[in-house]
Chains A and B, each alone.
Chain A
Amino acid sequence: MPTVIVAHFKTNIYEYLEALQKSTLDKLYEEPATCLAIFRLLPSLARQLVMSLLFSTQIMSKADLRQWIKNDKESLSKFEEALDKLQKLHIMIEQENKTIALNSSFKQKFQECLTGGGTHQSFGKLYNKPHRHSQSNSHKLPDIKTLDEHAKTKWEEILHFMVGTDRMNSPGASVLKVVTKANLMREKEGKGLEITNKGFQFLLQDVNTQVWAFLIQYLDLASEMLHMNVVEVLNFFFMLGSLELGQDYSVEGLTDTQRQLLDDLTNYGLIYRPKKSSKRYYPTRLATTLTSGNSAIVSNSSSNNPTDDDDSATEQGFIIVETNYKLYAYTSSQLQISVLNLFCNLQFQFSNMVTAELTRESVRKALKHGITASQIISYLTSHAHPQMKKRPALLPSTVVDQIQLWEMELNRLVITNSYLYKEFRTFADYEVVLKHANTLGVVVWSSDSKKMIGITEAGHERVKAFIKRKIVQRRSNGGDTTSSAGGTPAR
């Protein structure tokens, strides 16, 4: 189900925004396109609350708002969650007199966004001049296929580089910086870069999440090293999300920072430019689906957009999983095959498909790389073949359960450093110590028959002191029973 993936991609950008200063956010809200994009990241109920307040002139308090919500536990918790997010992003502000208001600049710009006023040009300036050679047919507008092709090659180039299938085409220096900064790859001792566990996890995410993860790292990099203005960069990203696929936009009106961005984003495949010096740029599908989340997967089936019909193999599902753990993947992409190879045993490769098998060994191998079971499942879910989507449960439940069991198998043993207490003289001695240790809550393990107790590192000093106290007590009472505390760290 796309739910999982969307949550992923939203949390990514969301966490970033939440960490921003109020003043930065206020500046962001000056662009209607950004307002719209951030608005769409909010939880459903929060969006509704914003809309209800947007054109309202009444002064509301939190209690007034709560009147709108049904008085049951689930509704109220949703409401609290929505309010919390709105306040964290400073869209809704609780004033001192307990009234609640929308951020004034957000309110104004978002109204503008819905009514279509203003002169902000935040939804992209079209390249208006007639194409110089349009008559002579030598300079055609690139069609959507070209754009998709460009996006795909550029983005896969990065992924290929990470997987290491294609060492020939090393992507640009800025890509390398981002990749190492994000800890997706690390410097190997000898030479070159090596993929990390985080990198493996990255490969299993859907394209949208990958792009955002990448862009956020880029943002950090941009503000730290290239001294770019975060607000301008973010505005540009959000504007890209609102552009039309297949349109040409003018670089005029962009700030210097944003022009610089254009070059980098061209490298990532988010933007296509006929020539480097061109005054035009075209957003690709990677860019236009930035703020829509699940559209890359779902909108193919909704018929409203005829341009979505062409089959870009990365967007459509291609994997069929059977209940007997056999997996058929209709793909010839080397990249996807190597991703599958992370957690499957590949068996045969045909010209348009590969067959593979999920085995205990293959999944364990992936788990050892730091990939989690839920990542494997969500990868299989999001790339499931359209035929699979017609079933009630998308993946066979046997397979899903088994993958999770294999993961739990690895977590069977929990290692705790501890001290072993043994050779108690009498059972009574053993019992007293055990009772005391139990009240302290520091017992890891104990055995009545062997008269042994395992005590955590943290509790060792206190138990030792207790035993010493007991021994001193006994001695002063004339008794000679001692219990020897063997402080041997076990396992």
Chain B
Amino acid sequence: MSVLKDTATVNEEDANLLVLIIDTNPIVWRKSNFSLKEALRHILVFINAHLALKHDNDVAIIASHVGVSKFLYPIPMTHENSDKTIFPNMYQKFRVIDEKVIANMSALFEDVDTPNNYPDKASSMMAGALSMALCYINRITKADEIGHVKSRILIISVSPDSPYQYISIMNCIFSAQKLCIPIDVCKVYGSDTPVFLQQASHITGGKYLKLEMPQGLLQFLMIAFLPDRYNKKYLCLPGEERVDFGAACFCHKKIIDVGYVCSVCLSIFCRPLDECSTCRTRLTLTSVRQNGRVI
């Protein structure tokens, strides 16, 4: 069965599942001259555009917040809440999703305790959001017996990397690679380069794009991030070719260019150690000490 589920080749009639991860770190968004509210307006139109492309296109939206990541859509609902007021001026599916995203987003921001109690306020829970996205995709793919659903992930990122999440993010990236799920990254704000996410898009065959003008978010989304996997075969899309392969060390979570690697489990350290902290292998560093630093 699993052999037949061909997720790598795409054809025109496939349904597309877009999992959108929105970095909602309020502290970073406030610094930007482009508010999250405005960005959300653009993103909602983009979601509608994605749904408009095909009848069976679907979307999942995850907020990567400070200290927590949450599904904004879809949320398993008890059926009672579905108020059946249909708004005649809008396509029903668009409206349902837009409203749920807005409602769940405001619910997310009402909870101020979780972010306040979380130590690393500069970044967001990208690793958690990525894992949720992959799990969701995995479930949908399993349910779809004929391999009709093709998934991809798009990350709207603002906050810098959190070195604490290095290992988990890398694990997510490799699982995505294994499942043939491209991860696209759209960096809306911030002068830094999110090294991990850039690697994510590079390894999985996605696109990484940093916006010079966040006000043009919608147009960028429409041109660079709307094309599904089928159309990408034919399009030249904007994107950055240069990738920074920097890694974070396992011992102090510092991002380093040159470091020490355990010869057994490939863990990365910024300083030579006598024993690998991951696999407990005893390391002898005599040769290293003689020759200087080794990558």
Residues of A within 8 A of B (CB): 1-3, 6, 32-33, 36, 39-40, 43-45, 47-48, 51-52, 54-56, 67-71, 74-75, 78-79, 113-126, 242-244, 247, 291-295, 298-299, 301-304, 386, 389-392
Contacts and interface: CB of A to CB of B under 8 A. Distances in A.
A123 B90 contact: yes
B145 interface: yes
A390 B219 contact: no
B56 A298 contact: yes
B91 A33 contact: yes
Nearest to B11: A3
Nearest to A4: B13
Nearest to A386: B145
Contacts of A40: 52-55
B234 A126 contact: no
Contacts of B234: 45, 69-70, 74-75, 78-79
B231 A244 contact: no
Contacts of A291: 55
B45 A298 contact: no
Contacts of A54: 49, 222
A244 B92 contact: yes
Contacts of A299: 56
Contacts of B87: 116, 123
Given A116-B89, A121-B88, A51 B222 contact: yes
29 contacts: A36-B91, A40-B54, A45-B235, A48-B235, A54-B222, A55-B222, A74-B234, A75-B235, A114-B48, A114-B49, A114-B52, A123-B87, A123-B89, A123-B91, A126-B86, A126-B88, A244-B86, A244-B92, A291-B55, A293-B55, A294-B56, A295-B55, A295-B56, A298-B15, A301-B143, A301-B146, A302-B15, A386-B145, A390-B146
Given A78-B234, A298-B146, 8 more contacts: A56-B219, A68-B236, A75-B234, A121-B89, A123-B88, A123-B89, A247-B84, A302-B15
Contacts of A114: 45, 48-49, 52, 94
A56 B227 CA distance: 16
B91 A301 contact: no
A48 B52 contact: no
B140 interface: yes
B12 A301 contact: no
Contacts, number: 150
B4 interface: yes
Nearest to B148: A298
A301 B148 contact: yes
Contacts of A122: 88-89
Contact of B89 (A78, A119, A390, A392): A119
Q: How large is the interface on B (under 10, 10 to 19, 20 to 34, 35 or more residues)?
A: 35 or more
Please give me the 7 A-B residue pairs with the lowest Cβ-Cβ distance, nearest first: A292-B55, A75-B234, A116-B90, A121-B88, A126-B86, A114-B48, A125-B88
| A79, A114, A124, A390: residue with the most chain B Cβ atoms closer than 10 Å | A114
Contacts of B295: none
A75 B233 contact: yes
Given A298-B15, A302-B144, A302-B149, A51 B91 contact: no
Nearest to A392: B4
Contacts of A118: 89
B70 interface: no
A122 B218 CA distance: 25
Given A292-B55, A295-B55, A2 B86 contact: no
Contacts of B89: 116-123
A250 to B, nearest CB: 9
Given A116-B98, A123-B92, A124-B88, A51 B13 contact: no
Nearest to B139: A303
Interface string B172-215: 00000000000000000000000000000000000000000000
Contacts of B254: none
Contacts of A2: 13
Contacts of B11: 3
Contacts of B230: 44
B226 interface: yes
Nearest to A1: B13
A401 to B, nearest CB: 21
B226 A51 contact: yes
B238 to A, nearest CB: 10
A120 B88 CA distance: 8
B75 interface: no
A55 B218 contact: yes
